[in-house]
Structure 1
Amino acid sequence: MKIYLLAASLVLALFISPLQAEQKKVLGPWDVHYIAFDSTIIDAKIAQSYQLQRSKYQAVLNISVLNSKDQKAQQVRISGTATDLTQKQIELSFREVKEGEAIYYLAQVPVHDQKHLKFKLDIWQGTENQKLEFSQMFYTE
């Protein structure tokens, strides 16, 4: 039941704003899907079960890595930072979530109105290492 509620919350995030639409990058052998969105759109019970703080001042990053050939979820390690315009860096801490055959990685980052963040992530599995970079503006008002 949890997977369906979380999936519904994430689908809702896709329609909230074009600025929050899921994106994909092909990195080496992987299709990396990523989205950053306001944590308040997640149902309170779902947020609690995934230990996510719901607040308009907390964003959620959701990263999933699929094999480009067969689209199977990949178990990887992810680390990275979010940097604001003043060059303040925030270390991101990702948690792996497995539900059935789906694997995704969640992290939270503090935000405020009109906060622009540049994300730099390292994704690796064995000897394969790829870098994902993207930026996003967050709105809280």
Structure 2
Amino acid sequence: MKTYLLAASLVVGLFFSPLHAEQKKVLGPWDVHYIAFDSTMIDAKVAQSYQLQRSKYQAVLNISVLNSSDQKAQQVRISGTATDLTQKQIELSFREVREGDAIYYLAQVPVHDQKHLNFKLDIWQGTENQKLEFSQVFYID
């Protein structure tokens, strides 16, 4: 858990609030931590170093997969989609980021005010395959 917090704090610039708190689901042998947030929450220098576009119309999805038994970061493959209420589907492209022992995966998705997105992700490691599904509404200031 310690490595995930270090990695997450680097990505979100130490910003966590009740509206943007990380979430966790236990999927098979993994604790999968996930958070989606407005990309303007990231400091400009941090965004540049991670090659993330800062815009109130771009959200960032951050996924971290830990072994449930020893909490070690897992190298996985992630693919998935974000689908809005009109059934428009957006393919997500994840990039792996390593910070010391931490491994996490970042993707960006376009958003607008009150955009409701349903995320469906496939996570693989060897023969292990798990599905993560969640929904989130994004608000633009």
Task: Give the secondary-structure state (helix, strand or coil) at the position aligned to 1:15.
Answer: coil
CA distance 1:4–1:131, change in 2 (3 Å): closer
Alignment partner of 1:16: what SS?
A: coil
58-67 vs 5-14, greater mean Cα deviation: 5-14
Unmatched segments (≥5 aa) in structure 1? none
RMSD, aligned CA: 3.2
Of structures 1 and 2, the one scoring higher in RCO (CA 8 A, sep 6+) is: 2
Structure 2, gaps ≥5 residues long = none
Q: 1:106 to 1:2 in 2, by over 3 A?
A: farther
Q: TM-score with structure 2 length normalisation?
A: 0.90
In the TM superposition, residue 18 of structure 1 has moved relative to its aligned partner by 2.5
Q: Is the 8 A contact 1:9 1:42 kept in 2?
A: no
- CA shift at 1:19, angstroms? 3.2
Secondary structure in 1 matching 2:74: coil
Q: Is the 8 A contact 1:57 1:112 kept in 2?
A: yes
Change (3 A) 1:113 1:14: farther
> Contact 1:14/1:22 (CA < 8 Å) preserved in 2?
no
Could you report, residue by residue, the CA deviation over 1:6-50 in whole angstroms, capped at 9, with x for unpaired residues?
857568678654332100000000000000000001110110111
Worse-matched range after superposition: 84-93 or 18-27: 18-27
Distance change >3 Å, CA 3–CA 39, structure 1 → 2: farther
In the alignment, is the contact (CA less than 8 A) between 1:5 and 1:46 conserved in 2? no
Change (3 A) 1:123 1:106: same
Alignment match, 1:131: 131
